[in-house]
């Protein structure tokens, strides 16, 4: 008894399901082709021409029914797609569309690859895997150049040249270091920026330097009302001064006699003791400067202290 009842219930349920499914099933002779990426459906069935040739309202109704059927099929396909809830649990149901399958022509031709920039073309790795460089170990072929001795070992030549290049590079590097070191340890000249502690002469010197550093070497710079006009010294300073040939006979005579006296005297022109003392003093000054620099680097005080030292060019052999 119970079994029969259960079967009845099952049959009734199946019947209901079939009813429901009928509302969304559509019968078609040929299956439609779908391109879900474009939301496209293609129906190859020839339409019922008899009805569609009739009067207008009938035709509209038939077109609409056809459209409804096709749309139903398309929507069924779309609902089959993997869907998720966008924006959390309460968000709208969103289906992930596949890539469009129907091939449509492009708007513009595909972009041409850009030519590599000069840097991209010329860049060679400087270190590591496959680096550029004349590594003589990797040279498996060494052409004999035109004017060279045919008996000469080219590989040995490559190796020798590499060694020479390395040595030259190293020498230049050391020379640069020495020059930089020399430049850093020389006592700085009078600063051109205003500090609080410049004397009148220094300021005058700075003003003169500033005037001369224009393109016309200061010839057209406006002067203050009472500033004396300084013509460009024809003498050219100390080093570019040339005495006239026939001028001061007395001065010339005294100069020549002094020269002869120095040449004839047994006493050496260079006073060794004085030179050594001077050198010692210079070294002490350097050491003090280095120490002072280190200490002054830590604070602003370093800027305040100005060392108006004597230029090392002066002194030396004094007559």
Partner 1 sequence: LIYSCRKPKTKRAKRFLEKREPKLKENTKNAMLIKGGNANLTVTEVLKDIYAVKKPFAVLYKKKNITRPFEDQTSLEFFSKKSDCSLFLFGSHNKKRPNNLIIGRMFDYHVLDMIELGVEKFVSLKDVKNSKCPEGTKPMLIFAGDMFDVNEEYRRLKSLLIDFFRGPSVPSIRLAGLEYVLHFTALDGKIYMRSYKVLLKKSGCKIPRIELEEMGPSLDLVMRRTHLASDDLYKLSLKQPKALKPKKKKNISHDVFGTTYGRIHMQKQDLSKLQTRKVKGLKKRPAEKSAESGGVSPKKSKSG
Report how far apart the first and last C-alpha atoms of the chain are (Å, whole number): 145
Which residue in the block uniquely carries the two structure tokens 């010197």?
Answer: 205
Site string for partner 1, 186-225 (x = CB under 8 A): ----------------------------------------
Q: Does 90 bind partner 1 (CB under 8 A)?
A: no
Using rule CB under 8 A, residue 19 touches partner 1: yes
Q: How far is CA 97 from CA 14, 71, 115, in A?
A: 33, 17, 36
Q: Rounded to whole angstroms, what are the CA distances from 310 to 177, 199, 238, 285, 292?
A: 25, 15, 18, 11, 17
Q: Pick one of 17, 164, 252, 283: the residue that binds partner 1 (CB under 8 A).
A: 17
Answer yes or no: are the C-beta atoms of 140 and 114 closer than 8 Å.
no
DSSP 37: G
> Can you list the alpha helix ranges (DSSP code H) found in 189-248?
200-212
Q: Which stretch binds partner 1 (CB under 8 A): 72-80, 134-142, 191-199, 211-219?
A: 72-80
CA 156 to chain CA centroid, nearest Å: 39
Q: Which of 76, 139, 178, 217 binds partner 1 (CB under 8 A)?
A: 76
CB nearer to partner 1: give 72 or 282.
72
Alpha carbon distance 293, 303 (integer Å) = 10
64 near partner 1 (CB under 8 A): yes
Which residue's entry shows tokens 């895997």?
129
Selected from 1, 3, 4, 86, the binder of partner 1 by CB under 8 A is 86
Given the structure tokens 């700075």, which residue do they identify?
Answer: 206
Binder among 46, 128, 225, 228 for partner 1 (CB under 8 A): 46
| Using rule CB under 8 A, residue 42 touches partner 1 | yes
Total residues contacting partner 1 (rule CB under 8 A)? 55
170 Cβ contact list (under 8 Å, min separation 6): none
Task: Name which position in 92, 196, 222, 231 contacts partner 1 (CB under 8 A).
Answer: 92
Binding residues vs partner 1 (CB under 8 A): 16-17, 19-21, 23-24, 37-47, 49, 52-53, 60, 63-64, 66-68, 70-72, 74-76, 78-79, 83, 86, 92-97, 100, 102-112
């Amino acid at each position: 008894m119970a079994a029969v009842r259960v079967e009845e219930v099952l049959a009734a349920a199946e019947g209901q399901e079939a009813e429901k499914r009928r509302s969304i099933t559509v019968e078609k002779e040929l299956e439609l082709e779908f391109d879900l990426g474009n939301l496209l459906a293609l129906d190859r069935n020839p339409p019922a021409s008899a009805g569609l040739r009739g009067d207008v309202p009938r035709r509209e109704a038939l077109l609409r029914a056809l459209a409804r059927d096709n749309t139903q099929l398309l929507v069924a396909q779309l609902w089959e797609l993997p869907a998720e809830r966008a924006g959390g649990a309460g968000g709208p149901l969103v289906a992930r569309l596949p890539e469009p399958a129907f091939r449509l022509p492009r708007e513009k031709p595909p972009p041409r690859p850009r030519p590599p920039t000069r840097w991209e073309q010329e860049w060679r790795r400087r270190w590591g895997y496959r680096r550029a460089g004349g590594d003589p170990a990797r040279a498996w072929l060494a052409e004999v150049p035109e004017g060279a001795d045919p008996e000469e070992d080219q590989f040995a030549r490559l190796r020798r040249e590499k060694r020479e290049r390395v040595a030259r590079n190293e020498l230049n590097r050391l020379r640069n270091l020495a020059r930089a070191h020399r430049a850093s340890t020389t006592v700085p000249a009078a600063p051109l920026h205003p500090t609080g502690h410049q004397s009148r002469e220094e300021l005058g010197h700075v003003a003169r330097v500033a005037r001369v550093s224009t393109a016309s070497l200061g010839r057209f710079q406006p002067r203050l009302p009472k500033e004396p006009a300084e013509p460009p010294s024809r003498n050219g300073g100390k080093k570019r001064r040339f005495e006239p040939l026939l001028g001061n006979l007395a001065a010339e005579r005294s100069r020549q006699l002094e020269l002869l006296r120095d040449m004839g005297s047994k006493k050496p022109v260079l006073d060794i003791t004085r030179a050594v003392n001077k050198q010692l003093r210079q070294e002490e000054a350097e050491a003090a400067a280095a120490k002072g620099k280190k200490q002054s680097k830590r604070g602003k005080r370093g800027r305040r202290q100005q060392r108006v030292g004597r230029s090392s060019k002066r002194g030396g052999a004094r007559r």
